[in-house]
């Protein structure tokens, strides 16, 4: 893949290293990776997972005053299908969510996840406000 003309000036030129000589692995500017490579999120959207394969490349997005954002890319042809949820996994997830909704003060299901900032449901945290 040859460097696109106009986009490879300035900051983006530092992010273009298809051979991996500068960064150790092939590196492309944001949104300019070749076909056949995908990030974890892109794989997940297609029902896939990396499946233990090594990182094939990376994309860099330059930022002002901080280091660049990095997204690692994996080969789509080596990706595996996402493992399906079993009944036991669903039950464990439901139990964990119930624990996050249960108020430690009144031991009731609040119907929402208890805020960490309060540590208890809103009626228990502000008992005077509920009487008004």
Q: Does pTM top 0.75 for this prediction? A: no
The sign of the torsion formed by the CA atoms of 67, 55, 47, 87 equals: negative
pLDDT tens digit string along 90-107? 999 999 999 999 999 999
DSSP the chain: -PPPTGGGSTHHHHT-BTT-TTTSS-EEETT-PPTTEE-HHHHHHTTEE-TTPPP-EEEEE--SSSPPEEEEEEEGGG-EEPPPPPHHHHHHHHHHHHHHHB-TTT--B-SSPPPTTTSS-HHHH-HHHHH-
Residue 21: is its pLDDT beyond 70? yes
Which is it for the CA torsion 28, 32, 35, 38, positive or negative?
positive
Q: What ranges do the domains of the chain cover?
A: 6-81, 87-131
Predicted local distance difference test score (pLDDT) of residue 67 = 82
Neighbours of 45 (CB within 10 A): 10
């Amino acid at each position: 893949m040859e460097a696109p003309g106009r986009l490879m000036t300035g900051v983006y030129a530092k992010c273009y290293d298809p051979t991996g000589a500068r960064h150790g692995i092939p590196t492309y500017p944001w949104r300019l990776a070749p076909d056949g490579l995908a990030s974890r999120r892109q794989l997940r959207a297609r029902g896939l997972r990396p499946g233990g394969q090594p990182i094939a490349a990376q994309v860099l997005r330059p930022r002002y005053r901080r280091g660049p954002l990095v997204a690692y890319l994996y080969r789509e042809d080596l990706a595996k299908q996402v493992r399906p949820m079993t009944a036991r996994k669903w039950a464990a997830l439901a139990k964990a969510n119930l624990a996050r909704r249960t108020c430690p003060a009144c031991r009731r299901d609040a119907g929402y996840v208890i805020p960490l900032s309060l540590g208890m449901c809103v009626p228990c945290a502000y008992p005077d406000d509920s009487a008004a």
